[in-house]
């Protein structure tokens, strides 16, 4: 793919930053210029400045890869004999990588109006709404949705009718699409009707030909496509080869090392936090145990004891049974979501712990013990096994996580069925980089103080 305007800007900024660092090397101007040239070539070869990167996490991954290759490549292809020069090159690689991440992020904020891409979405259903939310929350992609096209009630597409008209704002008729493209200066169109028929798709594409730079389609594959899927050109036929992610020995070792490091760091924070929570509980007249223990479903279906800061009154289960027996609305809510949004059993201190996710810090003990992982599926209750249905056999293939897809994709706003689907997605698409991404998103969520208790 060709480089974008924002790509050229980042390339120039990265080369300028690297030049300033390389200039400090005592190697001579010719040698330093060759290293700078090698730096730029590596960044281009990795594909950092093309328009196929839509998420900051993908950009960070490319930055890490490119700077690792740069450091190793300089050591292999240039005559570096001094240990001090090697250490300076390491500092150079780390510094330029950090500068690249910062500039990649903020250049899309500072120059958004210059480089943003005006997008028109064809569709007004749930898929279109979800796409809109992603574009609004993901400024890195520079996608600015300018409107939605309804395909209902047009003679040009007689077989399309979306009953779920979720999107209500900035909706235009399909017959007015050409005028909208001209008026809003649309560069990209995304067709967000997963159930669209082939003939209708062909008609839409034909009406867009030569009017926009690119056309994207959001297909419906029902979780068949994973990160390991491959697109093949089979003599003019498009083949999508699905694959189940295999977690090999080295990946398991890497995941366990990440768990141990995170577990140790978490337990160091847990110790003073324990005394703080204990003091707060005593001040409010609560002298019951600080920790709450409960049986959860672990890897292979084996039950284990999970640790949390107690955020509910001691007889919470008994009170829940009484509430469900006397209040049909509470029974219906808990049966559907396996939690109560405004749970009357939560203590005063418990609200703060759940809001900040500090109630889950004792699970670092479970992580060190090996019962859990930092990232993984939600640790389900034994009584939820039957409700997990077909997802059960998939989810128990991995250790439950202290955080995961469910926490970074809505948490309290995600119902039980959607949580199961997110956990299945995590399993089918697992890689170490996904763990790093979810861990970073979890920290961001905690600092934002949003999404009150999910478990």
What are the residue boundaries of the structural domains of the chain, listed by start?
5-112, 116-220, 249-311+346-448
Judged against a pLDDT cut of 50, whether residue 224 lies above it is answered with yes
- The pLDDT of residue 413 is 63
DSSP assigned state of 159: T
What are the pLDDT digits (tens) for 280-307? 888 877 788 889 899 999 999 999 999 9
Q: Which of the following CATH numbers is that of domain 116-220: 3.40.50.720, 3.40.50.2000, 3.30.56.10, 3.40.1550.10? A: 3.40.50.720
Copy the structure tokens of residue 4.
Answer: 């974008």
Q: CA-CA distances (angstroms) from residue 17 to 20, 101, 292?
A: 5, 12, 51
CA distance 49 to 267: 40
**Per-residue pLDDT at 455:** 42
| Closest among 176, 206, 210, 169 to 191, alpha carbons compared | 206
pLDDT of 450 reads 45
Distance separating alpha carbons of residues 354 and 154, to the nearest angstrom: 50
Share of the chain above pLDDT 70, in %: 88
- The per-residue pLDDT for range 2-50, each reduced to its tens digit, is 678 898 999 999 999 999 888 887 777 788 888 899 999 999 998 888 7
Q: What is the DSSP string of 278-302?
A: HHHHHHTT--S-SEEEEEEE-GGG-
Question: Does residue 227 have a pLDDT over 70?
Answer: no
Q: Quick one: pLDDT band at residue 276, thresholds 50, 70, 90?
A: confident
Q: What share of the chain is helix, strand, coil (3-state, %, to 5)?
A: 55, 15, 30
From the CB of residue 101, how many other CB atoms can be counted at a distance below 10 Å? 16
> pLDDT (tens digit, 9 = 90+) per residue, 382-401?
999 999 998 999 899 999 99
What count of residues does the chain have?
455
Helix (H, G, I), strand (E, B) or coil at 366: helix
Residues 21 and 100: beta-carbon distance below 8 Å:
no
Q: What is the pLDDT of residues 367-377, one digit of tens each?
A: 999 999 999 99
- What is the spatial distance between Cα 211 and Cα 186, in angstroms, rounded to a whole number? 9
Report whether 71 contacts 93 (CB < 8 A).
Answer: yes
Report, as an integer, the average pLDDT of 341-367. 81
pLDDT of residue 451: 42
* pLDDT confidence bin for 418, thresholds 50/70/90: confident
Contacts of 220 (CB under 8 A, 6+ apart): 194, 195
Task: Grade residue 189 by pLDDT with cuts at 50, 70 and 90.
Answer: very high
pLDDT at 317: 73
Work out the pLDDT band at 454, boundaries 50, 70, 90. very low
pLDDT of residue 380: 94
pLDDT at residue 256, as a whole number: 92
Residue 67 has pLDDT above 90, yes or no: yes
Q: What is the pLDDT of residue 11?
A: 92
Contacts of 352 (CB under 8 A, 6+ apart): 358
Q: Which residue has the higher pLDDT, 453 or 378?
A: 378
pLDDT at 147: 92
Q: What is the pLDDT of residues 308-338, one digit of tens each?
A: 888 887 777 777 777 788 878 887 877 777 7
Model pLDDT, residue 96: 94
Contact assessment for residue 137 and residue 54, using Cβ atoms and an 8 Å cutoff: no
> What residue ranges in 346-400 does DSSP mark as E strands?
373-375
Question: Do 53 and 62 touch, CB atoms closer than 8 A?
Answer: yes
Question: Across all residues in the chain, what is the average pLDDT?
Answer: 83
Angular region, 137: left φ>0, alpha ψ -120 to 50, beta rest: alpha
Lowest average pLDDT, out of 78-82, 88-92, 285-289, 425-429, goes to 78-82
The answer to whether residue 342 scores a pLDDT higher than 80 is no
> How far apart are alpha carbons 334 and 449 in whole angstroms?
24
Q: Is the pLDDT of residue 187 over 50?
A: yes
Whether the predicted pLDDT of 453 surpasses 50: no
**Which pLDDT score, from 0 to 100, does residue 412 have?**
57
Q: Is 425 left (phi over 0), alpha (psi -120 to 50) or beta?
A: alpha
Q: What is the pLDDT of residues 145-181, one digit of tens each?
A: 999 988 887 777 767 766 667 788 888 988 889 999 9
DSSP state of 220: -
Report pLDDT for 377: 93
Listed in order, strand segments (DSSP E) in 285-395 are 291-297, 303-309, 373-375
pLDDT recorded at residue 43:
93
Per-residue model confidence (pLDDT) at position 245: 59
In order of 3, 5, 35, the CA distances from 45 in angstroms are 12, 18, 15
Q: What is the pLDDT of residue 110?
A: 92
Please count the other Cβ atoms lying within 10 Å of the Cβ belonging to residue 301: 12
Q: Are 100 and 140 in contact (CB under 8 A)?
A: no
The encoded tokens of residue 409 equal 């994709």
Give the span between the Cα atoms of 184 and 211, in whole angstroms.
12
Distances (CA, A) of 99 to 11, 13, 284, 440: 12, 9, 47, 18
Rounded Cα–Cα distance for residues 420 and 418 (Å): 5
Helix (H) or strand (E) holding 154: none
Cα 169 to Cα 132, 149, 153, 454: the distances in Å are 11, 11, 18, 31
Contact call for residues 51 and 7 (beta carbons, < 8 A)? yes
Instruction: Show the tokens assigned to 3.
Output: 């480089």
Percent share of the chain, pLDDT over 90: 29
- State the pairing for strand pair 117-122/143-150: parallel
Q: Residue 244's closest CA among 438, 433, 427, 437?
A: 427
Q: Of 176, 211, 216, 186, which Cα lies nearest the Cα of 54?
A: 216
Helical ranges in 111-176 per DSSP H: 112-115, 126-137
């Amino acid at each position: 793919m060709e480089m974008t305007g924002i790509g050229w800007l980042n390339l120039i900024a990265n080369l300028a930053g690297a030049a300033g660092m390389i200039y400090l090397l005592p190697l001579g101007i010719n040698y330093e210029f060759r290293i700078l040239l090698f730096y730029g070539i590596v960044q281009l070869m990795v594909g950092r400045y093309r328009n196929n990167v839509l998420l900051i996490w993908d950009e960070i991954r490319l930055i890490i890869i490119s700077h690792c290759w740069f450091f190793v490549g300089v050591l292999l292809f240039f005559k570096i004999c001094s240990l001090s020069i090697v250490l300076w090159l390491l500092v150079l690689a780390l510094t330029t990588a950090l500068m690249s991440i910062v500039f990649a992020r903020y250049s899309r904020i500072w120059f958004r109006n210059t480089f943003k891409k005006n997008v028109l979405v064809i569709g007004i259903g749930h898929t279109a709404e979800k796409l809109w939310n992603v574009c609004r929350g993901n400024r890195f992609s520079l996608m600015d949705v300018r409107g939605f096209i309804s395909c209902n009630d047009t003679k040009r597409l007689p077989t399309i009718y979306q009953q779920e008209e979720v999107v209500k704002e900035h909706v235009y008729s399909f017959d007015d699409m050409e005028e909208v493209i001209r008026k809003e200066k649309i560069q990209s169109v995304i067709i967000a009707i997963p159930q669209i028929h082939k003939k209708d798709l062909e008609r839409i594409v034909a009406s867009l030909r030569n009017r926009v730079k690119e056309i994207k389609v959001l297909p419906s594959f029902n979780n068949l496509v994973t990160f390991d899927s491959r697109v093949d050109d089979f003599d003019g036929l498009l083949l999508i080869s699905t694959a189940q992610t295999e977690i090999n020995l080295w990946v398991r070792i890497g995941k366990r090392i990440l768990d141990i490091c995170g577990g140790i760091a978490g337990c160091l924070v847990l110790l003073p936090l324990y005394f703080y929570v204990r003091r707060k509980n005593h001040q409010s007249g609560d002298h019951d145990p600080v920790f709450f223990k409960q049986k959860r479903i672990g890897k292979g279906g084996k039950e284990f004891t999970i640790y949390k800061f107690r955020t509910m009154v001691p007889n919470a289960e008994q009170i829940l049974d009484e509430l469900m027996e006397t209040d049909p609305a509470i029974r219906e809510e808990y049966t559907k979501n396996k939690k109560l949004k405004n749970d009357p059993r939560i203590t005063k201190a418990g609200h703060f712990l759940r809001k900040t996710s500090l109630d889950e810090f004792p699970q670092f003990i479970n992580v060190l013990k090996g019962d859990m992982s930092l990232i993984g599926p939600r640790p389900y209750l034994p009584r939820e096994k039957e409700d997990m249905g077909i997802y059960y056999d998939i989810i128990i293939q991995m250790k439950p996580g202290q955080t995961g897809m469910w926490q970074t994709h809505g948490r309290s706003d995600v119902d039980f069925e959607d949580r199961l689907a997110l956990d299945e997605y995590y399993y089918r698409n697992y890689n170490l980089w996904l763990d790093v991404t979810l861990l970073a998103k979890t920290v961001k969520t905690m600092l934002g103080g949003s999404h009150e208790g999910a478990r």
